[in-house]
């Protein structure tokens, strides 16, 4: 039946796609959303629960519930951030769309985009960054301010439309973008931009947006300038301070063009100082994905992060 047009169903979504999404969500575990339903509770009647998702998505009648907002400490200090926790059923529906998009966009993504991609990891990004620190003296430690809270919806949808001919993918992306956050006090926060961290579809939407906003733009405007990007966290390698100043200025303008802003305090030009490079600059240390880079030769700071890198823990 999956391969045939189902009467009364405008969207042809296979039941196999729903099942594969469920298997992925189940493996990732995760907390319950606003309905309080756990993975274990959903699994008590998977056939009926999955049929409901398929039936509603195929008919165009699937509307996501609010996303539960949870405040958590940032992994490497620096305060807290809001994590959006969808319901189990909503994570499954989002994963159906995320997997559909991933097939289309993975082949076009930049080789130095590492975040939330198959067969790529923070370990790979940090390793590439360290190797490039040996070759160039200057880096731009780049931080996009409140990226997941600020990314413009119209440009996200435009990027999705450029990479799928399936109207249901676009429809459900639009609905997820508009889903409100349910705050701890039970009130709903209506949003007009952003895509909540914690949702299953946000990683591929973020990478797709930044693919157009950052990766090919860098390759076009500054060929030969290497970078590593892990979603909204990036390091750009420059041969001189003058080049770093020029690239940073252009990046600030580019981010404004796409509705974003570089964090004024966290974005810095850093000199890769070591025993053979003794120039001076206000900043000679930077942190990328929780790993602190300092001399000699871009060495990682001795400590827990190095042990994680050496063990391959991601």
pLDDT in tens, 18-34: 999 999 999 999 999 99
User: E strands within the chain?
Assistant: 67-73, 80-85, 138-143, 181-182, 188-189, 227-230, 233-238, 268-271, 286-288, 291-294, 299-300
Q: What is the mean pLDDT of residues 7-22?
A: 91
**Is 3's pLDDT higher than 60?**
no
Closest-CA residue to 74 (of 289, 283, 265, 284)? 289
CA end-to-end span of the chain: 40
280/247: higher pLDDT:
247
Q: What pTM was estimated for this model as a whole?
A: 0.86
Q: What is the mean pLDDT of residues 207-232?
A: 95
**Is 156's pLDDT higher than 60?**
yes
**Residue 78 binned pLDDT confidence (cut-offs 50, 70, 90):** low
Give the sign of the dihedral formed by CA 147, CA 151, CA 157, CA 159: negative
**Is 312's pLDDT higher than 60?**
no
276/136: higher pLDDT:
136
**Residue 4 binned pLDDT confidence (cut-offs 50, 70, 90):** very low
**Is 105's pLDDT higher than 80?**
yes
Q: What is the mean pLDDT of residues 179-206?
A: 92
Query: Do residues 100 and 214 lie in contact, with contact meaning Cβ atoms separated by under 8 Å?
Result: no
Whole-number pLDDT of residue 280 = 54
**Is 300's pLDDT higher than 80?**
no
Whole-number pLDDT of residue 194 = 93
**Residue 296 binned pLDDT confidence (cut-offs 50, 70, 90):** very low
5/120: higher pLDDT:
120
Q: pLDDT tens, 252-280?
A: 999 999 999 999 988 999 988 654 545 55
Pairing state of beta strands 299-300 and 268-271?
Answer: unpaired
In angstroms, the CA 163 to CA 113 distance is 18
Pairing state of beta strands 291-294 and 67-73?
Answer: unpaired
Q: pLDDT tens, 56-77?
A: 999 999 999 999 999 887 665 5
Helix residue ranges per DSSP H, 70-164? 88-105, 122-135, 147-150, 153-161
Q: Mean pLDDT of all residues in the chain?
A: 87
Closest-CA residue to 138 (of 261, 302, 293)? 293
**Is 83's pLDDT higher than 80?**
yes
Q: What is the mean pLDDT of residues 71-86?
A: 75
Other residues' Cβ atoms within 10 Å of the Cβ of residue 72: 11
């Amino acid at each position: 039946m999956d391969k045939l047009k189902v009467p009364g169903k405008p969207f042809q979504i296979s039941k196999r796609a729903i099942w594969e999404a469920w298997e992925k969500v189940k493996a990732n575990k995760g907390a319950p959303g606003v309905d309080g339903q756990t993975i274990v509770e959903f699994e008590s009647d998977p056939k009926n629960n999955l049929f409901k998702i398929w039936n509603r998505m195929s008919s165009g009648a699937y509307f996501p519930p609010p996303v539960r907002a949870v405040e958590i400490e940032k992994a490497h200090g620096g305060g807290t951030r809001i994590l959006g926790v969808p319901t189990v059923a909503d994570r499954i529906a989002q994963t159906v769309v995320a997997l559909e998009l991933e097939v289309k966009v993975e082949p076009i993504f930049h080789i130095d985009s590492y975040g939330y991609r198959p067969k790529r990891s923070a370990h790979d990004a940090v390793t590439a960054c360290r190797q490039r620190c040996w070759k160039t003296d200057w880096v731009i430690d780049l931080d996009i301010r409140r990226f997941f809270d600020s990314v413009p919806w119209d440009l996200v949808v435009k990027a999705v439309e450029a990479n799928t001919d399936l109207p249901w993918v676009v429809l459900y992306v639009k609905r997820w973008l508009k889903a409100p956050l349910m705050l701890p006090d039970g009130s709903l926060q209506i949003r007009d931009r952003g895509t909540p961290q914690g949702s299953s579809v946000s990683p591929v939407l973020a990478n797709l947006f930044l693919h157009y906003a950052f990766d090919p733009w860098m390759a076009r405007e500054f060929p030969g300038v290497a970078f590593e990007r892990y979603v909204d966290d990036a390091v750009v390698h420059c041969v001189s301070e003058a080049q770093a100043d020029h690239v940073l200025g252009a990046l600030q303008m580019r981010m404004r063009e796409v509705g974003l802003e570089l964090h004024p305090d966290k974005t810095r030009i850093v000199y890769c100082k070591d025993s053979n490079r003794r120039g001076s600059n206000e900043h000679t240390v930077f942190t990328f994905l929780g790993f602190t880079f300092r001399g000699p030769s871009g060495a990682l700071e001795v400590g827990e992060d190095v042990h994680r890198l050496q063990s391959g823990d991601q």
